[in-house]
Chain A
Amino acid sequence: MAISLDLLVNAIVAGLLLGGFYAAVTVGVTISFGMLDIVNIAHPAFIMLGSFVAYILNSNFAIDPILIGVAMTPVFFLVGMAVYQIYYYAFERRGEESIQGLAFFFGLLFVAEVALILVFGVDYRFVDAPYIGPSLHLGFVDLPLRMLIPFLVSLLMLAVLQVFLGRTFIGRAILAVSQDRLALQLMAANPSRVKRIAFGISIATASVAGALLIIIQPVEPSIGRDYIGRIFAICVLGGMTSFPGMLAGAVLIGVVESITATFYGPSWAPAIAFGFLLLTLAVRPAGILGR
Chain B
Amino acid sequence: MGSTKFWIVSFIVAVGFLVLTRWLIGNEYYFFAAYQVLQFIVLATAWNILGGYTGYTNFGTGAFFAVGAYTAVVLHKTTSLPLPVMMLAGGVMSGIVGFGMGYLTLRLKGVFFAIATLALAIVAQTLIVNWDFVGGSRGIYVIRPQYAPISGSYIQYLYSLMLALTWISVAIARSIERSTLGLGFNAIRDDEQAAEAAGVPTLRLKLISTTLSGALMGMSGAPLPYYVTYLDPASSFNLSYAVNSVAMPLIGGMTSWVGPVIGAILLGTIQQLATVTISSALNLLIVGVLLIVFVVIAPNGIVGLVQSRRRARRR
- State the A residues within 8 Å of B (CB): 39, 41, 86, 90-91, 94, 96, 98-104, 106-108, 110-111, 114-115, 117-118, 225-226, 228-229, 232-233, 236, 267-268, 270-271, 274-275, 277-278, 281-282, 285
Contact = CB atoms under 8 A, between A and B. Distances in A.
Given A111-B285, A271-B126, A275-B123, A103 B291 contact: yes
B115 A232 contact: yes
B269 interface: no
Interface of B: 51, 55, 57, 59, 104-105, 107-108, 110-112, 114-116, 118-120, 122-123, 125-127, 129-130, 137, 239-240, 242-243, 246-247, 250, 254, 281-282, 284-285, 287-289, 291-292, 295-297, 299
Given A108-B292, A114-B285, 4 more contacts: A90-B299, A226-B122, A232-B119, A267-B130
B130 A285 contact: no
A114 B288 contact: yes
A236 B105 CA distance: 14
A285 B104 CA distance: 12
A91 B295 CA distance: 9
Contacts of A96: 299
A32 to B, nearest CB: 12
Q: Which of A104, A114, A233, A268 has the most CB of B within 10 A?
A: A114
A40 to B, nearest CB: 11
A100 B288 contact: no
Given A110-B288, A114-B281, A104 B51 contact: no
A99 B294 CA distance: 13
A233 B118 CA distance: 11
Say what secondary structure dominates the interface of chain B: helix
B122 A267 contact: no
Closest 4 CB pairs of A and B: A271-B126, A111-B288, A107-B291, A274-B119
B207 to A, nearest CB: 15
A35 B209 CA distance: 31
A100 B250 contact: yes
A36 to B, nearest CB: 13
A268 B136 CA distance: 12
A86 B110 contact: no
A278 B59 contact: no
A103 B116 contact: no
Contacts of B119: 229, 232-233, 274-275, 277-278
Contacts of B242: 106
Contacts of A86: 296
Contacts of B108: 281, 285
B292 A107 contact: yes
Given A114-B288, A267-B130, A100 B123 contact: no
A278 B123 contact: yes
A90 B125 CA distance: 34
Nearest to B283: A114
Contacts of B114: 39, 41, 102
